[in-house]
Structures are given as C-alpha cells and as structure tokens.
C-alpha cells in the first residue's frame, strides 16, 4: 500500500489549497575576486603582462559582484585566479633559471 495520507473528513479542499509554502535558500559565500593577489602579480612579477590581465579580470569580477551577477563574478574571478597562477609559475621558473645561471 503506498504511503498516501488520507484527508481528514472535517477539512475542506479549499482550505487545503490556501496553504503557504516558504522556500529558504542557503546563503552562499560571495565569489572571490583575488584582487590582492592580482595586484601583487602586477607589481612584483608582471611577466608577459599576465599580472595586469589578472588585475583587470579581478576588477571586473568585483564589479559583477557589486551588480549581483554571481555567475559573471565567478567566471571573471576564476580567470583572474588562473592568470595569477600562470604568472606565479613563470616567475618561479625565471628565478630558478637566474639562480642556476649565476651559480
């Protein structure tokens, strides 16, 4: 037997339809824009202008976040993060090559 609930005999179908449903969404953390990291990449290792590009995408991410466009902010923020990672890896490789050549 399926687990159906029987309607009480004393209630009317119109009263059953007047119920209110409230949906509560979980509060999600705001998307990260990586602005400080992008600023450091711009000032301390702007290889191939990747730090400057990361800074531009970080500012765009912050603007989208202020406008309430969560998907746009996530997209620009992730692009800024990947540009920062690429700039950091290239800077580390250059430092290792310089230390190796000097030593």
> Which run of H or of E encompasses 48?
none
| Phi, psi (degrees; rounded to nearest 5) at 25 | -90, 145
The DSSP symbol for 49 reads G
**Which residues have a Cβ under 8 Å from the Cβ of 54 and sit 6 or more positions away?**
34, 37, 38, 41, 42, 80, 83, 84, 87
| Average pLDDT of span 30-40 | 93
pLDDT in tens, 60-96: 999 999 999 999 999 999 999 999 999 999 999 999 9
Cα separation, 99 vs 103, whole angstroms: 6
User: What would the two tokens of residue 49 be?
Assistant: 């202008």
pLDDT of residue 13: 58
Cα separation, 61 vs 31, whole angstroms: 8
């Amino acid at each position: 037997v399926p687990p159906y609930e029987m309607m009480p005999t004393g209630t009317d179908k119109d009263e059953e339809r007047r119920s209110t449903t409230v949906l509560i969404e979980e509060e999600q953390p705001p998307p990260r824009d990586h602005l400080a990291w992008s600023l450091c990449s711009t000032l301390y290792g702007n290889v191939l202008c990747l730090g400057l590009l990361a800074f531009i995408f970080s500012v765009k991410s912050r603007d989208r976040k202020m406008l309430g466009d969560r998907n746009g902010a996530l997209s620009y923020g992730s692009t800024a993060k990947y540009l920062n990672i690429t700039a950091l890896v290239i800077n580390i490789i250059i430092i290792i090559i310089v230390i190796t050549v000097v030593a």
